[in-house]
Amino acid sequence: MTTPVSLTRQGKVGLIAINNPPVNALSQAVRQGIIECVLQAQQDDEIKAIVLYCEGRTFVAGADISEFGKAPMEPHLPDVLHQVESCTKPLVAALHGTALGGGLELALCSHYRIALAGSKVGLPEVNLGLIPGSGGTQRLPRIAGVEKALEMITSGRPVAVESVVEQNLIDQVVEKDLVTAAVGFAETLIADQAEPRRVSEIQLSKSEGHDQLFADWRAKLKKKAAGQQAPQYAIDAIENTILLPFDEGLQKEREMFLACRSSEQSRAMRHVFFAEREVVRVPGLAKDIKGHDIASVAIIGAGTMGGGIAMCFASAGIPVLLVEMTSENLERGLAMIKDRYQQNVARGRMSEQQLQDCIARIGGTCDYADLSEVDLVVEAAFESMEVKREIFSRLDQACKPEAILASNTSYLDIDQIAASTGRPDKVLGMHFFSPANIMKLLEVVRTREISDESLATVMKLGKRIGKISVAVGVCYGFVGNRMYACYGREAQALLLEGATPEQIDKAMQSWGMAMGPLSVVDMSGLDIGYKARRENPNRSDDPLFFRPADMLVEADRLGQKTGSGFYRYDSESRRKEVDEQVIGMIRDEAERLGVTQRTIGDEEIQQRLIFAMINEGARILEEGIAGRSGDIDVIWINGYGFPRYRGGPMQYADEIGLDKVLQGIKAFQDRLGDRYWKPATLLEELVAQDKKFSDWVSKD
């Protein structure tokens, strides 16, 4: 068996090479190999200095994710890093690509660091509900400074090596020939008789503004990363570099790391990490079907959504043709796109040249005949089945036979849309989320007759334009909006029963949702849901169903855009305020409908909304609309502001126990009836079998 770590000698320099493709992860074999090679180099009298580098496209990019959730195997990473730092000969780490997590900790334990231009370094553990556990919180502040360490560790974002040269994190940046440059650097150390330079020996002292600095960071992260424990642990650990000796700080860091690793939050965030990588593998789609490349795209509709979708493609280097009914609408849409790009330039998110390049890729037309050669069309027109069927019939005539036709519909039956064409095997849904140029989620709706090649092509395209694409089946609302309707239904019912909009929103935000449900509909526009409900062929005949929202629409209170919805909005600042008039309107409507109002606690609000969502998620799984429970979680994390540290609705249910969820649903069933609260069959089956949603596998 070939070892992933090897030692060779070039003159007086020992070269330790790590070769563990694709990202040189710190597997058990790599950890063992590093220790052995460092010891060999140390014992070789011919070697006076050491260069540690990686083969392939990157330096060590982190831990071996295949070992996640398994019992740790010796040698443990802290022991490996101690061996590296304790080496009696100068040791130079040569970085390229990315040095992340344990990779950066390995570099920090090396005595000197040289990097290839364009490389990045970072400690992203916080994104998995963890903190660095092998000295990262103790060494990074010592060499790069406390504030830089706070910024890098609590955000988890990698930074360019060029930006940390001044902080002494990188000794030298080279443009090419990294290993040759590193050997030359090591030879200079030998000539200068340089000693090992250990970061752990750097002493930090308490500054005058110490207490205020850490208080400010704790307050900032309490707001920015609300509910998350790892960022606060990270701040504590970094502060220990000043308050405690290195060994004690290292011990405390390890204790906090282990506490994080065993926490519900880290389990949830690791679940999301794997689920987001699993969604690219579509159940039932053969691995050898790769799909083809899309070279040009047309978008039907140049409104807010159509313009945002056009930006997704143009920003990925794909030419786009916007289609509108009138030249006035087209010009307005193109101007709106340019304005959005200019906002990105003003915020430093793109350069003026990038703006010009993107704009140059976007054209416009009012003639369907101009679509004869495009590879893909995405329809983003009015949410009406009649309108969409007419558009697709025209597209079927105008586009080349091999072109894929996609609808951005949020709710409608795409099988019906496909039936209006002569190519149902090339018609599917591409449900973007607003704002389309920012939101990561893309629901790819697989129709009854969609071909494997067409589906694979669109999944591949989704990755190219930077989306997290999840394949789902056809039903009203697909996965996300179908579940959101249940979530919203309970919020509306609770309003009639006596809760206020502010109370419901605050309860859900304190639970972890990015926004409360009533603030969300005010922002998006109450009329959107109103129209969608009227397009639903199976709409509930319950007179209470979404009655508060419908009542406000009928009173022309459509949300932020009209200055009033569930809240009142200041005309200039858009700042929302509690509207007693709305509360009175809902109270009067409840009385008219015979609903007795009462005092409702936050826990009931949270359980009603979340359990309704979970129950519908279970039905979606048993119907085969989603292939895995993790797919549902990815949709909710990336499209609906569900807290990542809770892992998504299905993971949350698994975490608290499906028996508890079922018990709660049955309690609501006893009090509120069967109409909405009948437990899903799959949920009852899994509880009876003592299994979780994550154990469930689609039979399709």
pLDDT band at 539 (very low <50, low <70, confident <90, very high): confident
Residue with tokens 């509709």: 301
Cα-only R_g, the chain: 28
Out of 36, 67, 105, 187, which one is annotated catalytic?
Answer: 105
Give pLDDT, residue 699: 65
Domain boundaries, the chain: 5-261, 297-472
Give pLDDT, residue 572: 81
CATH entry 3.40.50.720 includes domain 297-472:
yes
Q: Measured between alpha carbons, how far is residue 585 from residues 498, 502, 567 in Å?
A: 12, 15, 12
Give pLDDT, residue 584: 97
Lowest model confidence (mean pLDDT) among 1-10, 40-49, 351-360, 426-435: 1-10
Residue with tokens 């990270």: 234
Could you give the CA distance from residue 356 to residue 400 in angstroms, rounded to a whole number? 30
User: Strand 120-122 relative to strand 112-116: parallel, antiparallel, unpaired?
Assistant: unpaired
Q: What is the pLDDT of residues 69-126, one digit of tens each?
A: 778 889 999 999 999 999 999 999 999 999 999 999 999 999 999 999 999 999 999 9
How does the average pLDDT of the chain come out, rounded?
Answer: 96
Q: Which two tokens stand for residue 142?
A: 């010592």
Q: Where are the alpha helices (DSSP H) in 281-405?
A: 304-315, 327-346, 352-360, 385-398
pLDDT score of 66 more than 80: no
Tell me which residue of 28, 1, 31, 174 sits closest to 16, measured CA to CA.
31
Residue type, 59: F
Exposure string of 680-692, with b = 16+ CB inside 10 Å and e = fewer, is bebbbebbeeeeb
User: Strand 112-116 relative to strand 172-174: parallel, antiparallel, unpaired?
Assistant: parallel
Q: Which two tokens stand for residue 8?
A: 């060779």
Give pLDDT, residue 147: 96
SS3 for 240?
helix
pLDDT band at 638 (very low <50, low <70, confident <90, very high): very high
Q: Which residues have C-beta within 8 Å of that of residue 422, sequence separation ≥ 6?
A: 396
pLDDT score of 1 more than 60: no
Q: How many CB atoms lie within 10 A of CB 458?
A: 25
Q: What is the pLDDT of residues 394-406, one digit of tens each?
A: 999 999 999 999 9
Strands (E), 422-480: 427-432, 441-445, 468-472
Could you give the CA distance from residue 436 to residue 165 in angstroms, rounded to a whole number? 37
When pLDDT is averaged across residues 190-205 and rounded to a whole number, the result is: 96
Q: Which two tokens stand for residue 496?
A: 């009639």
Q: How many CB atoms lie within 10 A of CB 598?
A: 8
pLDDT band at 68 (very low <50, low <70, confident <90, very high): confident
Q: Measured between alpha carbons, how far is residue 647 from residues 69, 132, 271, 290, 660 in Å?
A: 16, 21, 6, 30, 17
DSSP state of 128: G
Tell me which residue of 604, 476, 589, 578 sits closest to 518, measured CA to CA.
578
Q: How many CB atoms lie within 10 A of CB 94?
A: 30
- pTM for the full predicted model: 0.94
pLDDT band at 700 (very low <50, low <70, confident <90, very high): low
Q: What is the pLDDT of residues 491-538, one digit of tens each?
A: 999 999 999 999 999 999 999 999 999 999 999 999 999 998 988 888
Q: What is the pLDDT of residues 252-286, one digit of tens each?
A: 999 999 999 999 999 999 999 999 999 999 998 98
When pLDDT is averaged across residues 562-584 and rounded to a whole number, the result is: 93
Out of 125, 324, 443, 490, which one is annotated catalytic?
Answer: 125
Q: Which residues have C-beta within 8 Å of that of residue 359, sequence separation ≥ 6?
A: 314, 337, 338, 341
Could you give the CA distance from residue 545 to residue 527 in angstroms, rounded to a whole number? 15
Is 352 annotated as catalytic?
A: no
Asked whether 580 and 554 are in contact (CB, 8 A), the reply is no
Give pLDDT, residue 71: 80
When pLDDT is averaged across residues 422-431 and rounded to a whole number, the result is: 98
Could you give the CA distance from residue 110 to residue 98 in angstroms, rounded to a whole number? 16
pLDDT score of 192 more than 60: yes
CATH entry 3.90.226.10 includes domain 5-261:
yes
Could you give the CA distance from residue 57 to residue 229 in angstroms, rounded to a whole number? 34
Angle at which helices 136-144 and 102-109 pack, to 10 degrees? Answer: 60
pLDDT score of 36 more than 80: yes
Could you give the CA distance from residue 226 to residue 125 in angstroms, rounded to a whole number? 17
Is 105 annotated as catalytic?
A: yes
The reply to whether 297-472 shares the fold of 5-261 is: no
Could you give the CA distance from residue 67 to residue 76 in angstroms, rounded to a whole number? 12
Residue type, 123: L
When pLDDT is averaged across residues 409-423 and rounded to a whole number, the result is: 96
Q: What is the pLDDT of residues 333-385, one digit of tens each?
A: 999 999 999 999 999 999 999 999 999 999 999 999 999 999 999 999 988 89
Q: Which residues have C-beta within 8 Å of that of residue 322, sequence separation ≥ 6?
A: 298, 299, 302, 306, 307, 310, 330, 333, 334, 362, 363, 364, 365
DSSP state of 196: P
Q: How far is CA 595 from the centre of its chain?
A: 40
Q: Measured between alpha carbons, how far is residue 623 from residues 474, 590, 635, 658 in Å?
A: 10, 35, 17, 19
